Amino acid sequence: MAIDYLEFDGMTIEIERKRIKNLHLRIYPPAGQVRISAPLRLSMHSIGQQLEAKRDWIHKQRARIQALPVRSEPTMQTGELHFFLGQALVLNIYETATAARINREDNVLQVYVKPNTTALEKYNLLQRWYRKEMEALLPDLITKWQAIIRVHVAEWGIKVMKTRWGSCNIRAHRIWLNLTLIKKPIACLESVLVHEMVHLLEKNHNARFYSLMDKFMPEWRDVQLGLNG
């Protein structure tokens, strides 16, 4: 895999070379960054021509994305809402002399921290809680889908990703999942997991790949809408 860069209309566009047949163009929030997945042998001239043909559409989409409200940083104060498996949980902050911890009681997250704990420290505590909960869920889900898809996941991990829900190293049979998935309904988490596991059967996003997705998880397209919500 190789990365190229192309200057176009004042934008620096990242071009990722892949073993694919067609060019794919995506625009990411919040700044409207344009990224392209391009066939290995497609010339920069041909890429430029396709960008030129989509010039107006690109600028229109970038303007729409840049106009979206910017999500404010969490203040980590009592009453703030945070999501867990699609459910809104209310934050309750308590000061304590003991070790920091989080307990979930129904739709409430009880957060115990020492006095003068900063918002960032509370946020990092919540991230660790999310990671622990996701780590507890994944082994059973992986075992379930290994039996269905008939592939083996040798390694898996969780990390924060800005532009992807998951990734798969086919050679190592290693899967990474975005920590943010723990905030979504569990069907979304499973859909991304299945997506990455299907790559162990078909590395490309081609007709065979989507046929396999339809076979193993017929509802995946509907579930995907929840990922973008």
**156 and 212, same domain (yes or no):** yes
Q: Please report which confidence band the pLDDT of residue 2 belongs to, taking 50, 70 and 90 as the band edges.
A: low
Give me the pLDDT at residue 219, please: 92
For residue 28, the model assigns a pLDDT of 79
Residue 85: inside a domain, yes or no? Answer: yes
Domain limits for position 103: 81-128
Please check whether residue 76 lies inside any domain of the structure: no
Coil/strand/helix, residue 175: strand
Q: What pLDDT shows up at residue 218? A: 93
What pLDDT shows up at residue 172? 95
| Pairing mode of beta strands 87-95, 108-113 | parallel
Model pLDDT, residue 186? 94
Query: What is residue 140's predicted lDDT score, i.e. its pLDDT?
Result: 97
Same domain? For 142 and 221 the reply is yes
Q: Is residue 88 part of a domain?
A: yes
Q: Are 157 and 195 in a shared domain?
A: yes
Task: Give the Cβ contact number of residue 94 at 10 Å.
Answer: 11
Q: CA distances (Å), 122 to each of 71, 80, 102, in order?
A: 18, 12, 10
**Has residue 74 got a pLDDT over 90?**
no
